[in-house]
Amino acid sequence: MYTVTKVRSFRGRDGYGFNTDLMKDGIKIAFVIDEGCGGCLHYEWADLMEKDALNKHIKTLPKVKSPCGEMTVDIDLFVSRLVDVYEAEKKLKRLCKTKTLFRLKTDNEGTYRVIARRFDAAVKEFLLKKYGDNLGEIANERWL
C-alpha cells in the first residue's frame, strides 16, 4: 500500500507545493518535490525498480472524474492525491481534539457536520439517539 509521510507544504510561485516521502508498505521508496511552480513533480528514487512497480500499479487504476471530464491517473496525480488525503486527515485529526465531527449516510462524501463540543460518551449517545441508523461515521472514533 502506498502512503506519504513527512509532508511539508509551502507556497510556491504558481500555487502550493510540497515535499514528502513516498512509502510502500512502510518503506521509503522516493522523496518527492512539488516546487509549486506549475510543473511536474520531481522524484529521488531509492530504487528505480520501485518506480516501475508504481507505474505498473497505476495502470490498473480506473480513470478519475475531473471538471474537464475523465482523466487517466499518472504518477504525479497519484502522489498528489495521496498528499491531499494526508493533509485532509491531518486537518480532521486536529479538529477532533476540540470538536465532534460526524457524517450521516445521506451526506456527501468528505463532508462533516460539527458539534462544538469535545467527543465523549454523552455526545455519542446524543448522536445515536438523534440520527439512529442514518449516522454514518463519527470521525473522532478513528483516533481513540
**Alpha carbon distance 92, 105 (integer Å):** 18
Q: What is the pLDDT at residue 109?
A: 84
Domain boundaries, the chain: 2-92, 96-143
Report d(CA 9, CA 85) in Å as an integer. Answer: 13
- Cell matching residue 75: 504518477
When pLDDT is cut at 50, 70 and 90, the band that residue 25 belongs to is very high
User: Which cell is 100 given?
Assistant: 465532534
* Number of Cβ within a 10 Å radius of residue 115: 15
Mean pLDDT check: name the lowest of 25-34, 50-59, 65-74: 65-74
Exposed e or buried b per residue across 3-33, where buried means at least 16 C-beta atoms within 10 angstroms of its C-beta: ebeebeeeeeeeeebbbbbbbbeeeebbebe
Q: How many Cα atoms occupy the beta-carbon half-sphere of 35 within 13 Å?
A: 8
**pTM (2 d.p.):** 0.83
Sheet order of strands, 42-45 included = 2-11, 16-24, 27-34, 42-45
Q: Report the 10 Å Cβ neighbour count for 100.
A: 23
H helices within the chain, ranges in order? 48-58, 75-95, 121-131
Per-residue pLDDT at 13: 83
